[in-house]
A and B are shown apart, each in its own frame.
Chain A
């Protein structure tokens, strides 16, 4: 059974600081997704990482994937209040070439950015 572990689960940080959220998974996969969820809202796709060494950046967020270590990171640079949300990583356990539709989500990291 695929296990996806995120840490930390809660992150309170000050504006302007940097931090990293980690996502470890237990089985071979080369497809990993990051989603953002604002309180009471739906999930929004942030990044899709499809190969070992993949790096994607959007604004103050940068995501990377190391398939050998089964690890993805979401790095936050110079945090601002607008980044406060819950961030989920999700893993597709099939290798490239198909999908079984079953994304396994991590428990989520609740990020609070304080002024």
Chain B
């Protein structure tokens, strides 16, 4: 299995809703990432988990809350979002250790905040 699976593919939510994005990989990768991508822009790193511990938080607002329940799963909990948070949210994973840090990206979850 060489895939990163993200659900849902599309999500529409109001500013008062609570929702979650989910990501799963079975490649044995021990680093998992959340990126945010706005239209016609490069991906922006949000969070990195390494061996299930939060390694990087790129000063992301607390209305985004990541969780890594185990080495295969990564969640992003969403609460009280703003319309400007509408974007494509990409999950990625990579192998740990010395050498190339090639990211395998999921298909993304397209989020619309009304």
Which residues in A have some Cβ–Cβ distance to B below 8 Å? 31, 33, 41-45, 48, 50, 88, 92, 96-103, 105-108, 110
Contacts and interface: CB of A to CB of B under 8 A. Distances in A.
Given A31-B100, A33-B102, A103 B107 contact: no
Contacts of A43: 43, 90, 103, 105
Interface stretch (B13-21, B48-56, B64-72, B76-84): B48-56
Interface residues of B, number: 24
Contacts of A103: 45, 101, 103
Contacts of A96: 98-99
B33 A101 contact: yes
Contacts, number: 57
15 contacts: A31-B101, A33-B103, A41-B107, A41-B108, A42-B90, A42-B107, A43-B90, A96-B98, A101-B55, A101-B56, A101-B94, A102-B56, A105-B42, A108-B40, A108-B41
Contact of B101 (A42, A101, A107): A101
Interface of B: 31, 33, 40-43, 45, 48, 50, 55-56, 90, 94, 98-108
B36 to A, nearest CB: 12
Contacts of B41: 107-108
Contacts of A48: 100, 102
Given A42-B108, A43-B105, A96-B99, 10 more contacts: A31-B101, A45-B103, A50-B99, A101-B31, A101-B101, A103-B103, A105-B42, A105-B43, A108-B40, A108-B41
